[in-house]
């Protein structure tokens, strides 16, 4: 079995689904945002605040370049990790890409009150979310499977991934 790499916009459930999937498959879960924060020794918000998005993207690319493992991993990536063609190439090399999607409305609902996402800190409007989704759509579409999570529970999404994995072998 290959690594499973979850991509998708903020609030599409990558971490929750990733943890549940890893548990189900009996393998380790790695959250790239957590690894970036651990490497930097500060939170993602602080990296953005003190060093800007470009520094965050550098750290993100370094971590993605280092996804190598003897064991199978379920990996959750940050919502913007797919923007870089190099990152996408490395992710494809490292495993199978499962892209989680959700409507702008569902994303807004899930992120209400969240203070940890610098890119939506000042504006969580549907317009803003929809514009970012549209801009990133071609990058999210570069995946082995896409699963819409709108209106679904974590277990439903998990089941869809498991059915697909069984079929894929």
For ligand S3P, which residue has the nearest CB? 78
Q: Which region, left, alpha or beta, applies to residue 41 given φ > 0 means left and ψ of -120 to 50 means alpha?
A: left
CA-to-CA distance for 94 and 5, rounded, in angstroms?
8
Q: Give residues 42-101 in contact with ligand S3P (rule: CB under 6 A).
A: 44, 78-80
When binding is defined by CB under 6 A, the residue of 13, 33, 133, 165 that contacts ligand S3P is 33
Q: Are 59 and 39 in contact (CB under 8 A)?
A: yes
Task: Decide: is 18 part of the binding site for ligand S3P (CB under 6 A).
Answer: no
Task: Decide: is 10 part of the binding site for ligand S3P (CB under 6 A).
Answer: yes
Binding mask 107-146 for ligand S3P (x = CB under 6 A): ----------xxx---------------------------
Task: Decide: is 16 part of the binding site for ligand S3P (CB under 6 A).
Answer: no
* Tokens describing residue 163: 């059915």
CA distances from 105 to 11, 92, 127, 167 (A): 11, 29, 10, 32
> Minimal distance in Å, beta carbon 74 to ligand S3P?
14
Q: Which region, left, alpha or beta, applies to residue 11 given φ > 0 means left and ψ of -120 to 50 means alpha?
A: left
Nearest to ligand S3P of 78, 95 (CB atom): 78
Binding stretches for ligand S3P (CB under 6 A): 10, 14, 33, 44, 78-80, 117-119
């Amino acid at each position: 079995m290959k690594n499973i790499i979850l991509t998708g916009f903020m609030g599409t459930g990558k971490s929750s689904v990733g943890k549940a999937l890893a548990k189900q498959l009996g393998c380790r879960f790695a959250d790239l945002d957590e690894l970036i924060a651990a490497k930097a020794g500060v939170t993602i918000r602080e990296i953005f605040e003190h060093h800007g998005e470009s520094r965050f993207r550098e750290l993100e690319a370094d971590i993605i370049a280092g996804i190598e493992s003897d064991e199978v991993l379920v990996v959750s990536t940050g919502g913007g990790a797919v923007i870089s063609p190099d990152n996408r190439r490395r992710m494809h090399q490292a495993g199978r890409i499962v892209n989680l999607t959700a409507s702008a409305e569902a994303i807004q609902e899930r992120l209400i009150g969240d203070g940890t996402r610098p890119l939506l800190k000042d504006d969580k409007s549907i317009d803003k979310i929809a514009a970012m989704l549209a801009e990133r759509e071609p990058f999210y579409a570069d995946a082995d499977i896409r699963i819409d999570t709108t209106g679904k529970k974590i277990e439903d999404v998990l089941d869809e991934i498991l059915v697909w994995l069984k079929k894929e072998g």
